[in-house]
Structure formats: C-alpha cells, structure tokens
Amino acid sequence: MEQIRGLVSVVIPTYNRAQLCRKAVESVLSQTYQNVEVIVVDDGSTDNTKECASIPDTRVRYVWQRNSGVSAARNLGLQSAKGEYIAFLDSDDTWIPWKLDLQLSVLRSLPSAGMVWTDMIAVDETDKELYSSYLALMYDSGYRHFDREKHLRSAGTIEGIWLDCPAKWVGRKYYSGNIFAWMFFGNLVHTSTVLVRRSTQESVGLFDVGLERSGEDYDFHFRTSRVGDVAYIDVSTIRYRVGATDQLTSGDMMYWVARNNLKTVTKMLSSAKEEILLPESLIRKRLAQSYAWVGREELKRHDKNARWSLLESLKLDPLQTKVAVCYLLSYLPGQVFNWMRGIKRRLSRPPTAGQP
C-alpha cells in the first residue's frame, strides 16, 4: 500500500471497552500533531464499541473482526494503514497531547533510528496518577540489566530539537543505539508509547498470532530491535491504566505471559544467537529463569508439565534453591499442594487491626 508522507497511522485494538476506547481515540485526535489516521480494530466486541468509536471525524476508521485476539487485531490495522509512521495505542490507555510532536522531532533528528519509545505515567481506574515514571517498574526484569546511560548514546536534550518543549522538560535527554542484546533479558518497550517508521515495521513484519493471549508485544519489539538502532526519550508520553481485571497483565493471565516469554526467548536464540552478544553464563541464567517461571505457573495449575519445566531450569542453573523446592513440591498430590499454599498465604497475610 502506498504511504502518505508525514501521516501517522494509529492502530487501536479493542474488545468490550467502549467508553475507554472513545477516550483513547479522542487523545489521538487532540494531538498537537494533527496529520493522523486512527484505525480502531474491534475484536468482536459485544458492547456498544462501534457507536462509541464512531466519532464524526474523517480521520477515524472503524474495522470489525471476529474475536481473534490482540495480535490479529493489530495486524489487521497494520495491513490497512496508509501512514509513513505507525503508532500503537491500547484502548485503555491515553496519550499526552504532544506525544507525536516530540517523537517525530526525535526521529527526524535521528535518521538511523527505526523506532522511538518513552516512559509512561501509571494511573488507576479513576485516572488518579500513581507513578509519574512507570516503565522501569513495570518491566523490571529487563531494566534490572539495562541502563540507558551505559548502553545507549545520549543524543542530546529534547529542547534542542523540539521547538514547543514545555519548561518542565527542559534538560530531559533522548538516546539512541542498539538494544537487541539487552532485550534478551526482558521487554524494555511499552507498546502504547511506540512510534515506528513504516519502513522499519515492514522489515519486522506483523505480530505473531501464535502467541496466545499475551506476550506478542515483547516478541514484536524484540524483532524491531534486531533490525537496527532505536531511540528512547526520558519523558512520559502516555497515561497507562493499571489494576483493571480485564488487562492481559492481570493475575490469571500470568501463565500465558510466562509461556510466551519463554517462546520468545527460545525463538530468538534459535534464529539469532550470534547477534545476542552476551556471555554464555548469562544466556543460560536467563533461560533458567524463563523455564522456572513457566514451571511455577504450571505448578499452580497442577499442570503435569511443571516438573519437566522446573527440571529444565535446574539443568541450566542448579543453584536455585526455590526452584528446587518447587520441583520437589511437584511430586505432591494436588490437594496437599493447595493446602500448603493456603497455609503460606495465611502466614504471609498482614495482621488486621488489633492483632499483634
């Protein structure tokens, strides 16, 4: 499809979030950079999403698909996008009004960077701000190893390239470099903060629909970082809603998150191990942690594969006391395991008022 120069195509997948989706769309339409198209992909909603997303603005397009998951929804949006740039926005997040202006300024100043991402503000379901800088907290496993000052090049301060920089952000830096090896430790990029060149996205391809329910973003950004340099801006440009029961990061989804994390890591190792320039000991440790995470989640579900996953982890890194304990627990009958988990929860519960 022919690209329209300067146009930013914003892909918003949604499912049964009618009112929130409308707010997400409005946050795009109120951007200071107005050359946008908004593609709302309804993943088979049963609420009034169509009515809420049908904003009377020629820049908004509504597309419906049978419920197929967020990867398929994003892919459908990508396939109909016309812009020179692509942005993603989850339907329960919103953008700060100058997000695109700032990011486009950075990409114009860094022609070698194929993508730019930023920090984010965390808010609760009432939109009350919880954290002004949430990215490293949410993706702590990746940021435990990654340091932008050490692993990226400081390209300058944003007021030098962004004419409308608010006074409170003067002095904030933007960075560029290759993060592929560091992405091996865990995701560093939040999807709703991303702006990517269409040429880069075409090199990366689409989201992997084989990653069920979660983890498709880690895989996509991992592949994006393999293509070449990316950029990071040390400013929060979105409001990210946390704590909702319908989010993919809610507790009952952690089994799928763990499984798809392992799939992504093993897939990248099989296709690009020579490009992941890390010591073998660190690679083995990361794999061990991934297998252990899957094993723990399987153990909670009494999945018969738990024992195998935990053993794989111990083969890679034998000095993991907690994993060894979980491996031994995998031999217990389900009822006994549940009884022990119940005791642990009661012992770890904070005392109520009046208790010592």
Give the pLDDT confidence of 292-344 residue by residue, as tens digits: 999 999 998 888 899 999 999 999 999 999 999 999 999 887 655 565 556 55
Query: Which residues on adjacent β-strands are paired with residue 14?
Result: 42
Three-state secondary structure string covering 324-346: HHHHHHCCCCHHHHHHHHHHHHH
d(CA 226, CA 172): 26
Residue carrying the six token digits 């926005």: 89
Written as one letter, the residue type at 326 is C
Q: Is the pLDDT of residue 352 over 50?
A: no
Task: Tell me what pLDDT residue 322 has.
Answer: 94
- Over pLDDT 90: what percentage of the chain? 83
Written as one letter, the residue type at 40 is V
Residue carrying the six token digits 């049964």: 16
Within 10 angstroms of residue 78's Cβ, the number of other Cβ atoms is 21
Residue carrying the six token digits 């990011």: 103
pLDDT (tens digit per residue) in 179-190: 999 999 999 999
Rounded to 5 degrees, φ, ψ at 309 are -60, -45
pLDDT band of 354, cuts 50, 70, 90: very low
Helix (H) or strand (E) holding 235: strand 230-241
CATH fold of the domain at 4-251: Spore Coat Polysaccharide Biosynthesis Protein SpsA; Chain A (3.90.550)
Cβ atoms of residues 238 and 99 within 8 Å: yes
Q: Which two tokens stand for residue 105?
A: 């300024």
Within 10 angstroms of residue 217's Cβ, the number of other Cβ atoms is 24
Q: Is the pLDDT of residue 346 over 80?
A: no
pLDDT band of 155, cuts 50, 70, 90: very high
d(CA 90, CA 241): 10
More confident residue, 53 or 222: 222
Written as one letter, the residue type at 125 is E
Q: Which two tokens stand for residue 217?
A: 């973003």
d(CA 275, CA 32): 39
**Cα dihedral sign for 114, 119, 120, 122?**
positive
d(CA 73, CA 183): 24
Cβ atoms of residues 329 and 307 within 8 Å: no
**Integer angstrom CA distances of residue 279 from 182, 231, 276, 319, 353:** 12, 25, 9, 18, 50
Chain mean pLDDT for the chain: 91
More confident residue, 252 or 170: 170
Task: Tell me what pLDDT residue 13 has.
Answer: 96
d(CA 195, CA 192): 9
Tell me the domain boundaries of the chain: 4-251, 279-348
Written as one letter, the residue type at 121 is I
User: In Å, how far from its chain's centre is CA 282?
Assistant: 23
SS3 157: strand
